[in-house]
Structure formats: C-alpha cells, structure tokens
Amino acid sequence: MKKTDVAMIILIASVCVLIAFFVTRSLFGGSAAQPVNVKTIDKIDPALSEVDTTIFNENAINPAVEVQITQGNQ
C-alpha cells in the first residue's frame, strides 16, 4: 500500500468515529444535568431473630440428604 492509501483509511476511520460519537450522543443523550434522587434502604440488623416453627420444624425432610429409591428388600 502507498502512504496515501494508509492516510485515506485513517481519515475515513476518524470521520466514521466522529459520526458514530455524535449519533450515539443524540440518541442516548449526554450526561444528566440534574441530580437524581434514589431511594435507600434501612441498614440490615445483624442480630438473628427467633426462627418461625411453622416453616422450620425439626421433623421436616432435609432436601440436602441423598435418598436412594430401590425396589425390593435391600
């Protein structure tokens, strides 16, 4: 390639980047000029509360235990 070909490719790429910049800025807008108010949540209490016995009972099936289902007496 000649030097003029490389210079033309760089010029075309630069123009395309500038066009893409202005098109995206017009579509998505610039940075917000006004501050935005955001809702915040209360701090989570690290203390543990009493467990609800209707949901967590001692006689419940533990899903973490592997169960083998077979036929017959084994």
Q: Please, how many CA atoms are within 13 Å of residue 27, restricted to the half-sphere of its CB?
A: 6
pLDDT tens, position by position, 14-42: 999 999 999 988 888 766 677 878 899 88
Percent residues over pLDDT 70 in the chain: 92
Rounded Cα gap, residues 22 and 25, in angstroms? 5
Residue 7 in 3-state DSSP?
A: helix
Model confidence, pTM? 0.41
Sequence-separated (6 or more) residues with CB below 8 Å from residue 8 = none
pLDDT tens, position by position, 3-15: 889 999 999 999 9
Rg (CA), the chain: 33
Q: Which residue has the higher pLDDT, 1 or 21?
A: 21
Q: Give me the pLDDT at residue 10, please.
A: 95
DSSP state of 58: T
